[in-house]
Homo-oligomer: A and B are copies of this chain.
Amino acid sequence: MNTNYKDIKVIGFDADDTLWVNETYFRDAEKEFAKLLSQFETENKIDQELFKMEMKNLPIYGYGVKGFVLSMVEMAIELSNNTVPPQTISNILEIGKKMINKEVELIEGVEKVLQHLSKKYRLIVATKGDLLDQERKLEKSGLLDYFHHIEILSDKKESNYSKLLNHLDIKPSEFLMIGNSLKSDVLPLINIKANAIHIPFHTTWQHERVNVNEKEARFLTLKSILELPNLLN
């Protein structure tokens, strides 16, 4: 396991569920959506079908709230066999707007840690969300000044991270990624010989779940972002 971070020049932070709460709001939105359609199906069935619809649309819409809302609208029409009232569609659009305009709730310790790390490292945000949405959250969060810039990746695959390192003009060994998703923030980095630290969030979207053989893990898992400064001194 690589816990030697002496070459690190740039630290990339995932945003949603690493810097601030996000997944919780999607889960809340799904509940609201299920309630709106409760005359047509059970909450459980609606949840499952919505997830399938999101997966079907992911290659077209990508990640973020807007694609999520479009999938909810499509699901509502399909699930109701074309009988959903327009008012319900309006309510779905409102769920989306509320999500986008939501206040930003920082994860505990984030600001303190960034303040500390920004003195020694170049910090960036590396996220696959929607740029406008993430910029807005960063602004609301009060964390803007700690970051050099935001990198939006259309997907967090190895090839996207390789492009990012090329773009940052650094070697894999000089980059450390920190995030809550094994699939998106950790494994692709390890595979391209960069560094990664996993800080799980209490909720993980189904799509982001993977199985890892803990013995083979070549990365650290932390309980809280507050453990970072000691590691990166």
- Which residues of A pack against B, CB within 8 Å? 60-63, 66-67, 69-70, 73-74, 76-77, 80, 82-87, 89-90, 93, 96-97, 100-101, 130-133, 135, 148-149, 152-155, 163, 166-167
Interface centre among A63, A66, A77, A85 (most CB of B within 10 A): A66
Residue among A80, A85, A86, A96 with the highest chain B CB neighbour number at 10 A: A86
Q: Is the CB of A101 within 8 A of B60?
A: yes
Query: Which B residues are CB-close (under 8 A) to A96?
Result: 70
Residues of chain B contacted by A90 (CB below 8 angstroms):
74, 77, 82
Closest 4 CB pairs of A and B: A62-B132, A66-B66, A132-B154, A82-B86
User: Given A132-B62, A149-B163, A149-B167, A82 and B87 touching (CB < 8 A)?
Assistant: yes
- When distances are taken between beta carbons in the complex, the residues of chain B under 8 Å from A155 are 132
Residue of B nearest to A160 (CB): B135
